[in-house]
Amino acid sequence: MPRYIVEASHDPEPGACLRMLNLVLLQGAHYLTNTEWGCMAGDHRAWIVLEAEDEVAVRRVVPPAFRDRCRIVKLAKFTPDQIKSMHSQAH
């Protein structure tokens, strides 16, 4: 199944951090457990990697308050053979 990384930012004031934490917790403890946060380092973004059929399914998981502000990127992995093939096609 395809994997996606979701990045959601929020305002830097402490109340915004707490609101975002609460919204993620409302989605379920699983989401809170698997979300990484930059707030303690002064980077007010959160990241989570999800498996889903498509971007539409991923967006449904994002709390509504952040859907318009989140960035969703479909992830890919490469094998050594794929990289070798890319090199041969580039020449």
Helices (H), the chain: 14-27, 29-34, 55-61, 80-90
Q: Where are the domains of the chain?
A: 3-90
Domain 3-90 class in CATH: alpha beta
Q: What is the model's pLDDT at position 74?
A: 98
Q: Which amino acid is at 48?
A: I
| CA pair distance 17, 84, nearest whole angstrom | 44
What is the per-residue DSSP string for 40-55? GGT--EEEEEEE-SSH
Residue 76 φ/ψ region, left for φ over 0, alpha for ψ in the -120 to 50 degree band, beta for the rest: beta
pLDDT per position in the chain (91 positions), as tens? 999 999 999 999 989 999 999 989 998 899 999 999 999 999 999 999 999 999 999 999 888 878 888 999 999 999 999 999 999 998 7
pTM: 0.84
